[in-house]
């Protein structure tokens, strides 16, 4: 199931599906959107790890624990789930940067059974000729708590779409100032 949702002048497409591979089960997620912001503007927002909780929905806090070159250790907590069940999920993540192109995130420890994510930036243009940056988010995640199959996929997909929309809105807000 693919969902498209409008953000300002762009469309965010998101997909989440339950995957079974090598005896493991997890959600595979993918979302993409476009902003007229430059790579530098997008990169500055995505790597502002201390401020992520100010604009990423459900993220309670994000703190840089250490940074060495292009590698950061970041402690994060978020509320995951639905309005009826939203436990606090804590993670220590390792973030590796390939400047202006890729951010790779992997859980070092925490409350997820499995968590990896990747942000990619690409120069792009839209059909109307607008130039900017295409933002791609892809990941694999599995919480340690049970999510019923009938709500898991739509909830995860909606959360990923909302996260990418919020990131693009923040990038565009910062670009206007």
Where helices occur in 33-136 by DSSP H, the ranges are 39-46
Mean pLDDT of the chain: 89
Look at residue 87 and tell me whether its pLDDT is greater than 90: no
Dihedral sign, CA of 32, 137, 42, 48? positive
**What count of other Cβ atoms lies within 10 Å of the Cβ of residue 49?**
20
pLDDT category of residue 83 using cuts at 50, 70 and 90: low
Give per-residue pLDDT as tens, 21-61.
Answer: 888 889 999 999 999 999 999 999 999 999 999 999 999 99
Are 45 and 173 in contact, with CB atoms under 8 Å apart? Answer: no
Instruction: Kindly tell me the burial class for residue 88, based on how many C-beta atoms sit within 10 Å of its own C-beta (0-12, 13-18, 19 or more).
Output: exposed
Secondary-structure percent of the chain, ordered helix, strand, coil, rounded to 5: 25, 55, 20
Q: At 84, is the secondary structure helix, strand, or coil? A: coil
Q: Residue 129 — pLDDT band, cuts 50, 70, 90?
A: confident
Q: Which of 98, 118, 126 is nearest to 39 (CA)?
A: 98
* pLDDT number for residue 10: 54
The CA distance from 153 to 173, in Å, is 30
N-term to C-term CA, the chain: 36
Q: DSSP for 114-150, please give it.
A: EEEEEEEEEEEE-TT--EEEEEEEEEEEEESS---HH
Answer yes or no: is pLDDT of 85 > 90. Answer: no
Residue 165 pLDDT more than 90? yes
- Write the DSSP symbol of residue 80: -
Pair of tokens at residue 48 = 């502002």
The domains found in the chain, sorted by start residue, are 2-19+27-176 (3.30.530.20)
């Amino acid at each position: 199931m693919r969902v498209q949702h409008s953000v300002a002048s762009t469309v965010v497409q998101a997909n989440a599906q339950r995957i079974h591979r090598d005896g493991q089960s997890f959600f595979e997620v993918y979302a993409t959107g476009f902003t007229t912001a430059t790579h530098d503007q997008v990169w500055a927002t995505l790597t502002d790890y201390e401020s992520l909780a100010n604009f990423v929905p459900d993220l309670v806090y994000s703190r840089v624990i250490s940074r060495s070159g292009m590698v950061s250790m970041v402690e994060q907590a978020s509320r995951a789930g639905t309005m009826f069940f939203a436990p606090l999920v804590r993670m220590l993540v390792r973030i590796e940067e390939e400047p202006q192109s890729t951010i790779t995130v992997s859980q070092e420890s925490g409350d997820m059974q499995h968590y990896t994510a990747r942000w990619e930036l690409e120069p792009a243009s839209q059909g109307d000729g607008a130039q900017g940056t295409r933002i791609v988010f892809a990941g694999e995640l599995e919480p340690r708590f049970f999510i019923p199959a009938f709500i898991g996929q739509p909830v995860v997909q909606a959360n990923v779409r909302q996260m990418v929309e919020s990131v693009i809105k923040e990038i565009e807000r910062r670009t206007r100032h």
